[in-house]
Amino acid sequence: MLIIGEKLNSAIPGIRQIINDKDVAAIQDLALRQVAAGADYLDLNTAQCNEVADMEWLVRTVQEVTNVPLCLDSTEGEAIKKGLETVKGDKSKVIINSISMEKKRLEEVLPFVLEYQCPVIGLTVDDNGIPKTAAERLKITERLLETLRQENYDLDKVYIDPLVLPLAVNHTHATMFFQCLTDIKRLFNVKTVSGLSNISYNMPKRKLINRYFLTICMASGMDAAILDPLDRKIMTAVTTADLLLGNDRFGKNFLKAYRQDLLED
């Protein structure tokens, strides 16, 4: 399971204030703590700030203290462009988050995906919005993959996000999402990804819901998650689910986490 650390996101009020204040120490501390907790990538989002200029600042600030790959999180082509221009090192390791079948986003962001041959998160949404059924989301997935295939893009680098919606709105949203994960693997054999927070929106005990949602997603074949790696219980769930799913050869990662006192009941 690929872990994309979610904490450097301007949608979080405290993070937005830190970015606006240009608090280098706070940003770098949060970056380093996420990496130490097991993040494979760090998601950077400045959409709620001065997006383009702050994306440049955030990339530079984070890369001063860690070389963990970045996930540039924006719907705007200019912010993605600025982030990629600023990234030091191998730009082809950057994950672009995201493209979709929305005309504007596809036109603005896809050229950078193709230019740098970056991994990319593809959302199952088009100009009609987020579909209500799994079948419609699969159709968008097919269209998006065909668009990328026609550009000779390596589909092994694609992560499809079927877009989970809150359980508080409809109690079947989680089961539909699990179905999407299973069907995307079966029909297209590409990677899948999700954030966790939407599933529990407006519900009590959100971390509990997120944790069990993640483990079922992993059992349904999900390859990556955008989550809070500082939440020891959710990281324990990742480690334990990997063990149970046969992804942790001889239990090496589980035993290592145990010895380091990282597992939390």
Split the chain (265 residues) into runs of 10 and give each run's mean pLDDT.
97 97 98 97 97 98 98 96 97 97 96 97 97 97 98 98 97 97 98 95 96 97 97 97 96 96 93
CATH 3.30.300.160 for the 2-259 domain, yes or no: no
Task: Domain ranges for the chain, please list them.
Answer: 2-259
The whole-model pTM stands at: 0.96
State the distance between the two ends of the chain, measured CA to CA, in whole angstroms.
Answer: 20
Contact present, 165 and 130 (Cβ < 8 Å)? yes
The pLDDT assigned to 80 comes to 98
Alpha helices, H only, 131-205: 134-150, 173-188
The pLDDT, as a whole number, for residue 114 is 97
Task: State the DSSP code for 162.
Answer: -
Q: Please check whether residue 115 is in contact with residue 151, taking contact to mean a CB–CB distance below 8 angstroms.
A: no
Q: Give the tens place of pLDDT for each residue, 204-245.
A: 999 999 999 999 999 999 999 999 999 999 999 999 999 999
Instruction: For residue 71, list its beta bridge partners.
Output: 43, 95
